[in-house]
Chain A
Amino acid sequence: MNTLTPSQYLPETPPGRHFRAEKFDVGSFFFSGLTGLATLFILAILGVILTNIILNGWSALSWHFVSTIPKKDFFDAATTGVLPMIVGTTIRVFVMTIFVIPVGVITAIYLTEYAPNTSIITRVIRAAVNNLAGVPSIVFGLFGLGFFIHFIGKNLDTLLHHPSAVWGQPALIWAALTLAIMTLPVVIVATEESLKAIPPGLREASLALGATKLETILRIVLPQALPGILTGGILAVSRAAGEVAPILFTGVAYYMASLPSRLSDQFMDLGYHVFVLSTQSPNIDQTRPLLYATVLVLLILTLALNIVAILIRARVRKKMRALG
């Protein structure tokens, strides 16, 4: 007959082994084994770091520790506390978020929805965003000092006729703005990705019903992009909570007797406090538990901020799914 049967071209399947592999696939096993090992390795490193911190810092961690404003002597375990550092870190991250999310989202909307792809301005903006992401943190700190404090702050003081420097010196607001500029690329990219993920058919449907481009963005596109925007916010918060270099010249203080109450106040910071404890300590063995406890508090704080943001995002997603 002229009909072809498969068995002419493929090796015979031995009876009883219809769909199982002929022999053990070494390559597959080796490769999946390798990827599994890599995952375990990363988890192990994380585990080691966390265990080290917890073991060393657990003894100094107490309710008293997290709720006391310390005296100038940080190294006395009985009287010291990190409350101002917790407050300082939280507030600066919060103020940063207020600035970075609107600016980042609006930039991303411009780049995705309005900017003509071939225009040179668009390419310049994209290049700027990419390069901004690669700038070292300490450079942001110097920028903040030069631009926000010496230029804007000083002129603001002159404009408002302040006799002594109020805005022209390190302050919460300048540190927050510096951090906002540093984390801007993260928010822009996350927002852009979520905007691009929205199928163009939805925009077309809206426009065909007589909506303007702005109405389409506000009513259809942005609500759908909200989870992605929140993801960008989460990433920005995580990055900013642990950064010390950008706040070094722009707002952090070695010691403040009271909690920050105005945007022009300086503040204390958990990350910076770790640096202080490890370099200024007279007795490193005595200070070590305090050091690790501070790091532990920073980690817990970052985790808490993340969890809050993730919960908000989950609620938004749930509302979107239910409402449809």
Chain B
Amino acid sequence: MADISLPKITATATAAAGPSARPLIQIESVSLYYGASQALKTISLPLAEKVVTAFIGPSGCGKSTLLRCLNRMNDLIDNVRIEGSIRIGGHDIYDRDVDVIELRKRVGMVFQKSNPFPKSIYENVAYGLRLHGLRNPAALDEAVEKSLQQSALWEEVKDRLHSSALGLSGGQQQRLCIARAIAIRPEIILMDEPASALDPIATARIEELILDLKKDFTIVIVTHNMQQAARISDQTAFFYIGELVEFGPTGRIFTNPTQKRTEDYVTGRFG
């Protein structure tokens, strides 16, 4: 349980965003083992605040695994061993004193396959809020509306907040999951291929949403879709079989990569 409660996570006192600011998330020499096999090989990576960072790479390269380390979702899997440290706001999240519940309040996650609860739309968004103690109905109403507006879903569902979330289309469900995640105002949102199960129009809306969310949240997105990474991310990290091959501003990675493997991947020669 927590002895330390994480202070408000900010990297710098000033609002300056961009890669030159001190990193919000500092991944240092992280290695991950599933039993005997090593899935991540000494990854070191700084992730800046209020910036969209994309993890790209072929299937099985470890990008989702690394993403799940950031909110300790890998704790749920048996037989996983992690070395190295991941500092968020200066504190190592794998420290013994860290309360995982508190961490997950600050670091939200949106999954590849949308997973709304079999409850009403309202209850889905309110779930996290209720969990962390908010009970006042007026406050809940306001928070739910704000989250749904911020995830570009409000207009479509405002007249049927109490109908089942499972009646929404795939794209709407995913935006609902995003609304659910941002309702508790995390500082960081992790997205694991959020649009891979959606059609191009729904995908475009999600991408638009991410660009909008960037103003308030730090976003890390895993994606198979290189064009998507090029469109929406500020920084890109390219992974290959558990290793971090190259990391830098998105523009440079796609137009002028320094590593041959990166160049081969982004030009479509493999993967």
The chain A residues found within 8 Å of chain B, CB to CB, are 116-118, 199, 201-202, 204-212, 215, 219-220, 224, 320-324
Whether B119 lies near A209 (C-beta < 8 A) is: no
Q: Are B119 and A324 in contact (CB under 8 A)?
A: yes
**CB-CB < 8 A to B116: which residues of A?**
205
Neighbour of A324 across the interface among B111, B113, B166, CB < 8 A = B166
What chain B residues lie within 8 Å of A118 (beta carbons)? 78
Q: Is the CB of B115 within 8 A of A204?
A: yes
Verify if B177 is at the interface (C-beta below 8 Å from A). Answer: yes
Q: Report B-chain residues with C-beta under 8 Å of the C-beta of A321.
A: 164
CB neighbours of B121 from chain A (8 A): 324
Whether B73 lies near A204 (C-beta < 8 A) is yes
| Min CB–CB distance A69 → chain B (angstroms) | 49
Q: Give chain A residues whose Cβ lies under 8 Å from the Cβ of B73.
A: 204, 207-208
Judged by a CB distance under 8 angstroms, whether B104 is at the interface is yes
Residue on B nearest A203 in the bound complex, by CB: B76
Q: Distance (Å) between the CB of A222 and the closest chain B CB?
A: 13
CB-based A-B contact count at 8 angstroms: 75
Q: Which residue of A205, A211, A323 contacts B111 across the interface (Cβ within 8 Å)?
A: A205
| Inter-subunit contact B118/A208 (CB<8 Å) | no
Q: How far is the CA of A98 from the CA of B118 in the complex (A)?
A: 28
**Inter-chain contact B163/A202, CB cutoff 8 Å:** no
Q: How far is the CA of A3 from the CA of B250 in the complex (A)?
A: 47
A-binding residues in B (CB < 8 A): 71, 73, 76, 78, 101-102, 104-105, 108-109, 111, 113, 115-121, 123, 127-128, 131-132, 162-167, 177, 180-181, 184
Nearest CB in chain A to that of B78: its residue? A116
Selected from B102, B115, B119, B167, the residue in CB contact (under 8 A) with A210 is B102
Q: Which residues of B contact A219 (CB under 8 A)?
A: 127, 131
Q: Is the CB of A201 within 8 A of B111?
A: yes
Inter-chain contacts of A206 with B (CB < 8 A): 117, 127
Q: How far is the CB of B131 from chain A (nearest CB, A)?
A: 5
**CB proximity of B191 to chain A, nearest CB, Å:** 11
With contacts A201-B111, A324-B164, A324-B167 known, is A208 near B119, CB below 8 A? no
A206-B127, A210-B184 as given contacts; A220 in contact with B132, CB under 8 Å: no
Name A117's closest neighbour in chain B (CB-CB). B78
Cβ B118 vs Cβ A320 within 8 A: yes
CA distance A219 to B71 in the complex (A): 21
Asked whether, in the complex, the Cβ of A212 is within 8 Å of the Cβ of B167, the reply is no
**A207 and B164: CB pair below 8 A?**
no
Do A209 and B180 touch (CB < 8 A)?
yes
Report whether B109 and A208 are in contact in the complex, using a CB–CB cutoff of 8 Å: yes
Known contacts A204-B115, A209-B108; can you find 14 more A-B pairs with CB under 8 A? A116-B78, A118-B78, A199-B115, A201-B111, A205-B116, A208-B73, A209-B105, A209-B128, A209-B180, A210-B102, A219-B131, A224-B118, A324-B120, A324-B163
Residue ID in chain A nearest B71 by CB atoms: A208
A22 CB, nearest partner CB in chain B, Å: 42
Are B76 and A207 in touch, CB under 8 angstroms? yes
Chain B min CB distance to A260 (Å): 42
Contact B131 A211 (CB under 8 A): yes
